[in-house]
Amino acid sequence: MPPLRRLRDLEAPPGLPLLGHALEFRSAALHLKLEKWARIYGPYYRLRVPGRDLLVVSDHVTVAKVLRDRPSGFSRTARLREIGQEMGLQPGVFSAEGEDWLRQRRMVMAGFDPAHVRRYFPALVQVAQRLCKRWERAAHKPTPIDLQNDLMRYTVDTIAGLAFGANVDTLGSDADVIQQHLDKVFPALFRRITAPLPLWRVLPSAADRALVRSMVEVNRAVDGFIAQARARMQHDPHLRTHPSNVLEAMIAQADQPGSGLSDAQVAGNVMTMLLAGEDTTANTIAWLIYLLWTHPEALQQAKDEIGTHVRDTHSPGMDEMDKLPYLEACIHETMRLKPVGPQLPLQANRDIAVGDVQVPKGTIVISLLRSDTLREDLVDQAHAFRPERWLQAHNPAKRMSTPFGAGPRICPGRYLALLEMKIAMTVLLGQFDITHVGTADGSPPQERLSFAMMPVGLLACVRSKPRKPKAG
């Protein structure tokens, strides 16, 4: 077996004197540049920032090993925890480590148990119906729908209702709502993590001051969700064994003797669900609508499947969601081509081998989660939107595409996210004809990385269909 290579001996792209590649991390297209460099320098290359070298890995086999070696071998970066705490984010399961993560993981998994999620199905449909009403109003206006805005409202309302039992109706209002405060959190977190200097600490900008106000509002809302849930559980102790939402299930788990969990950790996970549930699901649905519009045969096949298996698309049933394999394939293909997390930086907890590279403890390892899924030598027609590949027995992309992560820290809300997307698409494709999707200037939508990756400027026009429930 050949000896391991040293990190400092790997090739590195050209950088700036002294700063190296530090300024590249400010780019909203950072993920695209990292993927481009992987094609030039291979599956392992080095980035230089003041005081340290970073390793970038695109080989999907090694990436999978890194993801599975958590939380023991790798953890979230210390900078993420530092900046998050400074902003006022309580540590949830997303950023917790060690024993704290194990305790929180049990609590969160109890809330996202598929049996619980299925019980909440009617509430999910109600929010999709609110989105439908919003689009019905938009169908009669000349102004196109701002996909990103509307879908983030949909996901916020869904999470608030399903996870917290709170009737938050951002879809029915254009006023100053919690969604507008949440929108500031992830971009600010990304900017500060990637900033060469912490200027916000000495020269706070107007955006920094607005962030402080938004964090106050979001934390107030989170505290209110928890207080309301505790009041309901005190009034009805039966909710401790039969919770009506994810938050009640988490509180019941946290209140178990010896759990080691407090309301602060419950609050951290409420915040995590709000942020992750808003950005990730909304971005994926937006990309999915665009990809279906630009692939009319796939759009028609998805509509035909819904029309065949869903009796009333205004109010679909839970069992009908299991009869939509092509729609689910469209979702998986969208997440392969347009993952909300195309890269994942982790920190080595010990001296460790990553592939054939020896990296010291504390090294930041950036895993490129999409890179290999776009290689034509690994995936047939890798750049094409081909949902049918997910219905085939042999699909190389299946073992490479990891939109929800992998290993012990795989996303606990993946079942809910898939269900949420299927419900939204069932209601929207069943109730509307899409007449146009695109950007204002007609150019393809750009990918913008702001912690999560999102499409820029996607607009949609729709036409309402007459409601015709099927008989039987």
Q: Is residue 470 part of a domain?
A: no
Q: How far is CA 253 from the centre of its chain?
A: 25
Q: Is residue 272 part of a domain?
A: yes
Q: Please report, for the chain, how many H helices and E strands are present, in that order.
A: 17, 13
Alpha carbon distance 123, 168 (integer Å)? 12
Q: Is residue 472 part of a domain?
A: no
Going by pLDDT thresholds of 50, 70 and 90, the confidence category of residue 122 is confident
What average pLDDT score do residues 463-467 get?
83
Per residue in 9-18, pLDDT tens?
999 999 999 8
pLDDT at 290: 98
What residues form DSSP beta bridges with 365?
A: 55, 346
Write phi, then psi, for 210 (nearest 5 degrees): -65, -35
Q: Is residue 227 part of a domain?
A: yes
Q: Which amino acid, 282? A: A
Tokens of 172: 């029915």
Alpha carbon distance 428, 31 (integer Å)? 31
Q: Is residue 165 part of a domain?
A: yes
Per residue in 261-305, pLDDT tens?
777 888 887 777 777 766 789 999 999 999 999 999 999 999 999
Tokens of 149: 């805005």
Question: Where in the sequence is the domain holding 46, given as residue range(s)?
Answer: 5-464
- Structural domain tally of the chain? 1
CATH for 156: 1.10.630.10
Q: Is residue 280 part of a domain?
A: yes
Which range, 124-133, 222-231, 344-353, is most confident? 344-353
Per residue in 450-462, pLDDT tens?
878 999 999 999 9
Q: Is residue 253 part of a domain?
A: yes
Largest CA-CA distance found in the chain, in angstroms, rounded = 72
Alpha carbon distance 394, 380 (integer Å)? 11
Is the pLDDT at 30 greater than 60? The verdict is yes
Alpha carbon distance 182, 211 (integer Å)? 9
Q: Is residue 328 part of a domain?
A: yes
Alpha carbon distance 162, 250 (integer Å)? 13
Is the pLDDT at 471 greater than 60? The verdict is no
Is the pLDDT at 141 greater than 90? The verdict is no
